[in-house]
Structure formats: structure tokens, C-alpha cells
Amino acid sequence: MQFVINRDYFVHSVQHVTKAISSRTTIPILTGIKIVADHEGVTLTGSDSDISIECVIPIEEDGEQLVQIIEEGSIVLQAKFFAEIVKKLPEDKIELVVQDQFATTLRSGSSVFNLNGLDPEEYPRLPQIEEENLFQIQNDLMKNIIRQTVFAVSTAETRPILTGVNWQVENKQLTCTATDSHRLAIRKAAIETNIENLTFNNIVIPGKSLTELSKIIDDNDGLLDIVVTENQILFKSKNLLFFSRLLDGNYPATKNMIPDHSKTDIFLETKGFLQAIERALLLSRDGKNNVVNFKTLEDGIVEITSVTPEIGRVTERINTKQLNGEELRISFNGKNIIDALKIVDSNEIKISFTGAMSPFLLRPVDSDKALHLFSPVRTY
Amino acid sequence: MQFVINRDYFVHSVQHVTKAISSRTTIPILTGIKIVADHEGVTLTGSDSDISIECVIPIEEDGEQLVQIIEEGSIVLQAKFFAEIVKKLPEDKIELVVQDQFATTLRSGSSVFNLNGLDPEEYPRLPQIEEENLFQIQNDLMKNIIRQTVFAVSTAETRPILTGVNWQVENKQLTCTATDSHRLAIRKAAIETNIENLTFNNIVIPGKSLTELSKIIDDNDGLLDIVVTENQILFKSKNLLFFSRLLDGNYPATKNMIPDHSKTDIFLETKGFLQAIERALLLSRDGKNNVVNFKTLEDGIVEITSVTPEIGRVTERINTKQLNGEELRISFNGKNIIDALKIVDSNEIKISFTGAMSPFLLRPVDSDKALHLFSPVRTY
């Protein structure tokens, strides 16, 4: 194998596929990047067997030659060193030559790296995916959906299904749900598809896969192709394939958890409320429970307090935009509220309580696409 | 005690004194910040007993009132929470009130913190320093001197004296020397002083103290007052006192180590040489020795190679600016050279070798104020 490649494109693609590679894999060949040179260009693959990422650098793009293939072939090179090497090479072009025994030479200007490669025949094949169930979402919307749900997945392995985000599709609408059983985040979005009656309801994507995907998607209004099979999901954008395994098991039904009435409704300015809870938790940051006490006062004012024995007490008063309904005293995990307030895309939120012992809802006032549900904490 | 203070100044000063405070101190009162309110303003102190920092926020500065003292007094408050609390308070002004039993209230807008304080009488007194041996250096020059020497101190506790930087003063010139016994950095600078024949030669300042000092000094051409006593050094700038303990023991004589002749002189472009050595070490970053082999070739070219068994080999060729004298093959610790090249303030350097087994000198070509000495590594 021998080719000459544009360094910037190579660096960019190597960084993408490296995101799938784990140094803790039990399959040695997966510590490497697979590099294939053929008539289409150079294709890079990285995988940890849960996530696989494939990146193509075409021979030519927008009239500019990116790759010159001198001899077709393939090789696997250690990912750990490779990303840093290509980034630091001195010239705009890099030549890669593979000789006998997978001995590989990387040359750029007066810099020469001789690397021991691995046998590309040992590298596992990527899943073959039938493109039957295909739909599309804008890149930037996809990044937003991920940001607004993944934070709420469980990090505990006791219920593995909760470490993923549940995706449901019905009537050309995607509903994404994440919960760790103390808080729940739901985000809805319209999808584009040519398939009549496209419906899924038990697709569960590992949170980690979505986080990595989000880092790779461009932040623009281009369309991302999404293909779902029984145990894999594939995201396709220009020159890039991102495969993730799906989680096994049934995602819990969450629809009936959401209260359909409320006793106290409070409208708050998002940023001011976030900062007040952040201050309330300042003294308890080593604590495990992050309990904040919330109380309605006269004249549309709410009071937040937090007590850490030995250290002290914080009291915050906040003017609400509007406060309707019954008086209320409730305690909750302030950290969970902070997580939600940080990703709400709205200057104002509405919180709906149905009593001190019941889950409560938090919603942006200017969108019905997002919803957060929290369990209260018993403090007595 | 009771006062109202400008938040930005308070935040800034709290951040300064917090730099001296260690959470691992064995003296409980030193986990706190001492706050004193008197007719001068508010004085904050932080200390880990090696370093002590005192910051004054005056009543008034440039016609602006910064502090309003309602009742004089003092208190010690936990540093860990305090820096973050004052940073996040909502308004421009902060009120601090101490009541019985050191119960302290911090109030800003609708935010109230009740904190348990500690007895200020338990806080140790700062060293009393006679201002006999005083000299001055510009702030930005001081930062530069620290940056260009501290990196070379030893991090091993086997020879504690080498964890400090040796300062010598003679003929109104300061000479700073740091070494870990494999490499040595010297930086000279002119000082200002009114004292005739001001001379020191065994002042050794802990590297850590200088690193912290460097973070606090403003990056401008103002003058920093420096006072030296037998076991303390004091740095004074506007509203700030920085005390450091000096290290006990005799700093090794280094003058005779520096070779006064050379057999091979090589002039190199700093950045290109730095990048070539960085690439040469890319494959050995997990290795302990960081050995780089250096060889002169024909036509003013030098070759750098580095071999990591199992992984591969890097070869770099560099055009020198000038190459005089004997042919040479030498091996050295590339990491040490990188450290020095990163802080050299010159586009071109000169390296002077006196043979493969002898220490060699690296100097910026446009200044005689800085000098680096390195031991070679035996590779056979």
C-alpha cells in the first residue's frame, strides 16, 4: 500500500475515528485504526465493538485532490500514537507506505516515522445494515436533542437499560426519553422520512454512544441520515458512518408518570433560578444528597434554603414572574434541577407542583417539545 | 465586626490569599482565611506556614470607596467554601457581619450565607521582617526570571536543597540558578537597590513559592520590592505582601561546571528544533528515559533519531543555521531539552558541545543573560 494524503483532512478523520477507540479493550486489534486505500480514497475505521466509526477521505473534493493512491492496500496502526503523530507532522502532505510484515513508513518533509503495523485481516467487519427504516434530522437539532437528554441517563449499572436514551418514532415525531429513576427528561422533535407509518418504540441507545456522536456531528443545518435495525443504529453524514449497538431489554413505560394537573404553578427566570440554586449548593458540594428546601412566601416570592451542619446555612429569595395556586414547602435534589436548567433553551421556565410528596414538572415556557420530571426528597 | 465591601476587589483578594492555603495542612486554623477590618480597610491573610500571602483592600482607591467599615474586628473563615461563595454572590456589594461565637453572616442582594467562623486569636502571626536588605525588580521581568528557572528544579525530595532556586546578588546583578543535577538553568538580571555592595550568595527559595508568586504578580513594568532575611524572603507590591520560607542548607557550587571551551558549535532555529524533538519523543511518551540520539551529517545537517522497541522509530533531519567544529554523535534526555527550548526567549539558539561524554551548553544567540547546561546520556 502507498498513498500521499492531505494532512489536515487526515488529521481530522483520524481524530473522528479515534473517538470510538478504547485503550481498555480486550481485543488487541481494536486498539488500532484500520486504514484502507482503494479507488474511492482512504477509509479509516475505529471501534470498541459498541461504537464503530468509519471516515472516508475521498480522492477529490470540490475540485481539490486530497489523496493520491499509488498502490491500493490496507493496514492497522496503533491509535494511541497515531493521532498525535499525524497532528505534529511538519508538512501539508503525508506519505504512507506499507512494506513487508506490515512495516509502515510515514513521511512528511524531513520527518520519518517507521511504525510496526498489525494485520488488517484480523480487524472485525463492520455490521451490514439494510437501509429499510431510514429517517432524517438536521445536524444541529440532533446535537441539541442529545444535549437535552443524555445528561439524565443513569450512570449506575444496576439497571443497564437506564444508561441509554429511549427513542420512539410515531407520526413523524421523535420522542427521546432519559431517566435515572429520580429525574426524567423528554425531548420531542419532528423528523423527515419517506416511509409512511414509520414507528419504533423500544430503541434504546447507550448514552455514551450519543455523547460521542454529538462530538462528531457538524453544527450546521445539514441532514443526518439515521437507519435503525434490530440491534444497531447507524448515523450517516458526509464521508462519515457512525454505528452504535442498541441496548437489550424493555425500556420502562414513562407516559403515565407525568402528572396531568397541578396545585401550584410557578414561573421563574431561568438564569436567576439556576444561580440561586448553585449558591444554595455551594456549602454542600461534598455532601451526597444536595438537598434544597423550597418554600413559597407572600407576594410571589419563593425562598430556597440549604443547611450543612458544621459549615453553615444559605438562604436565597427569588422573585417569581408569576405564582399561582396553593402554598408549598418541598425539598428536592438541587443538583438535578441545575442539570436541567443548564440545558433549557428558554429564558423562562414553569414549574408545576402537585403537592410536597409528588413528582413535579419543569418546562420551558416557550416550547412544548421539552419536559423534565423530578421526584421530591423526603426530609422528615 | 461589620463592613460592606466592593465585591470585585474582595473576590480578587480572596483568590490571591487562597493560593497560599493548602487543604492538607496539619494546622486546622490554616485551612481558613483571616479577615481583619480596621481603619486601613480590610486585610486578608492565607498561609500554609511555608508561604503566607497578605492582601489589603483599602478604604478608598483612586477616589472610589471600596470598603465601608461599620465595626472593626476580625474573623477566620473556611477558605474552601469562601472563594467560591464570594465569586457567585449576586450583587456588586457584599456585607459581612460577625456576631457572637464567630457566627458570620455574608449578605449580597437577596442571598444570605450564615457561616461558622473560627477564632482569629488562634491564627499565627506573620513573620516580622526588618527591611534592611531591600532591592527591586520589575514585575514582568520577575515573572520571566521565575518562568525561566523554576522548571529546572528537582522534584525529588532526596536532595531538598535542589527543590529550590538559588539566588545570588553581586554588583547589582541577580543570578538565579536551578538544577535537578541532570540539567541546569541560569538566568541573570539587573536589580535596583540603594544599598552599596548588597551581596547574597546562599538564598534558596522553594520552587513552589516562586510558582505561586508568579501567578500573583501583575504582568506590568511596576517595581516589586524584595526583602531578604536569614530564613525568609518577602515580596511587596501594591496592597500585597508575599512571604516565603527559605530552604536550609548549602546550595552546590555550579560555577565550575560550565565548560569554557567547545569542540562543536551548532546554531539552530528554536521552534523547528523544538518541534523535531517533540516528534522524536512521540513514540516514547510512556518511556522513562526520553533518550534522543543526535548526530551531525554533511552539509550542516543534523539528524535526530529515537527508537522505541515494539512500536517504531522516528528520524528527523534539521538544517542548522551554522555548524562549526568536529563531527559529533551524542545522546541526551529530549524532554529536558524541550523544557528549555519552550522558555527560551529567542528565535535562534546556540548549542556548544565538548564531546559525547561531556555536559553541553544551550544559549539564546541574542542574550548573555540565560544559559542551560545538560548532561548527556550514555547509551552503550
Report percent pLDDT > 70 for chain B: 99
Model confidence at B286: pLDDT above 80: no
Do B311 and A78 make contact, defined as CB atoms within 8 angstroms?
yes
Total count of residues recorded for chain A: 380
Shortest CA gap B257–chain A (Å):
35
Q: Which runs of consecutive H residues, i.e. helices, occur in A53-203?
A: 79-88, 139-147
Model confidence at B223: pLDDT above 90: yes
Total count of residues recorded for chain B: 380
Kindly list the residues from chain B whose CB atom is less than 8 angstroms away from the CB atom of residue A116: 310-312
Write the pLDDT tens digit of every residue in B306-357: 998 888 999 999 999 999 999 999 999 999 999 999 999 999 999 999 998 9
Kindly list the residues from chain B whose CB atom is less than 8 angstroms away from the CB atom of residue A111: 276, 279, 314-316
pLDDT for the residue B74:
97
- Grid cell, residue B207, equals 520552587
Distance of CA A344 to the CA centre of its chain: 16
For the CA atoms of A106, A107, A112, A116, what is the dihedral angle to 10 degrees?
Answer: 10
Write the pLDDT tens digit of every residue in A157-209: 899 999 999 999 999 999 999 999 999 999 999 999 999 899 998 899 999 99
Do B111 and A316 make contact, defined as CB atoms within 8 angstroms?
yes
Q: Can you tell me which residue has the cell 458526509?
A: A238
Do A283 and B81 make contact, defined as CB atoms within 8 angstroms?
yes
Nearest CA in chain A to B271: A90
Which among B78, B276, B311 is the nearest to A116, CB-wise?
B311
Model confidence at A288: pLDDT above 80: no
User: Which region holds residue A63: left if phi is over 0, alpha if psi is between -120 and 50, else beta?
Assistant: left
Nearest 5°: phi and psi at A26?
-95, -5
Kindly list the residues from chain A whose CB atom is less than 8 angstroms away from the CB atom of residue B113: 279, 282-283, 312-315
Closest CA to A320 of A302, A293, A344: A302
Write the pLDDT tens digit of every residue in A112-165: 999 999 999 999 998 888 888 899 999 999 999 999 999 999 999 899 999 999
Q: Can you tell me which residue has the cell 418504540?
A: A201
Task: Give chain B's contact residues with A (Cβ, < 8 Å).
Answer: 78, 81, 84-85, 88-90, 110-116, 275-276, 278-279, 282-283, 310-318
Write the pLDDT tens digit of every residue in A316-335: 999 999 999 999 999 999 99
Which among B113, B116, B316 is the nearest to A111, CB-wise?
B316
Model confidence at B256: pLDDT above 90: no
Write the pLDDT tens digit of every residue in A207-216: 999 999 999 9
Mean pLDDT confidence for B279-294: 83
Mutate to test the interface with A, among B108, B314, B319, B338 (most CBs of A within 10 A): B314
pLDDT for the residue B132:
84
Closest CA to B285 of A83, A347, A197: A83
Nearest CA in chain A to B83: A282
Write the pLDDT tens digit of every residue in B66-115: 999 999 999 999 998 898 899 999 999 999 999 988 999 999 999 999 99
Distance CA B91, CA B20 (A): 27
Model confidence at B157: pLDDT above 90: no
Q: Around Cβ B125, how many Cβ atoms within 10 Å?
A: 7
Nearest CA in chain A to B113: A314
Shortest CA gap A225–chain B (Å):
38
| Ordered domains of chain B (ranges, CATH) | 2-122 (3.10.150.10), 134-255 (3.10.150.10), 258-374 (3.70.10.10)
Mutate to test the interface with A, among B282, B286, B301 (most CBs of A within 10 A): B282
